[in-house]
Amino acid sequence: MTKRKQDQAQHETPETVQQMETLQAQLAEAETKKQEYLDALQRERADFTNYRRRMEAENRQVSAWAADETIKKLLPVLDDLERALANRPAEDKWAGGVELVLRKFQAILEKENITRIPAEGQPFDPNQHEAILQEPSEEHESGTVIAVLQQGYTHNERVLRPALVKVAQ
């Protein structure tokens, strides 16, 4: 044994050994608690991250829903503008202004990724079309949309308003 170890062995009394064992037990207990606290902190961080992601997704969904509701309220105005231009008298100056408003309206919808549902000549799709009338037709196959009574629109592939259509029997 080295001189230092011999000195330590001589100074180790039963009380000192007991104190060392007590300190080692306390250290082991502190290490266990530290690990428990670390695990709990990591779980809480993960839970908070998941909560934040869920809230962000929910906020985006609510925002998209609110935008969709606003757009739905404006679609009848678009319909009226289109009807006004379709039935305008020849050589009326006001029609140019109405046409300009309509083009601006359509440009805004296009920017917002709002598109018309293709209907005329397409097979009837109950997810995108709402059949109002059925009519026998020799020109079209049964189940084909032969006329659009009201345009339908989608926003980011979600149907805002189904197209009201006439279907061939």
Distance of alpha carbon 75 from alpha carbon 70, whole angstroms: 9
Pick left, alpha or beta for residue 80 (phi over 0 → left; psi -120 to 50 → alpha; otherwise beta): alpha
Residue 3 has pLDDT above 70, yes or no: no
Residue 10's pLDDT band, with cuts at 50, 70 and 90, is low
Domains of the chain: 115-169 (2.30.22.10)
Alpha carbon 98 to its chain centroid, in Å, reads: 35
Is 119 within 8 Å of 153 (Cβ atoms)?
no
Tell me how long the chain is.
Answer: 169
Q: Backbone phi, then psi, for 144, in 5-degree steps?
A: -95, 140
In this predicted model, what pLDDT tens digit does every residue of 112-152 receive, in sequence order? 999 999 999 999 999 999 999 999 988 888 999 999 999 99
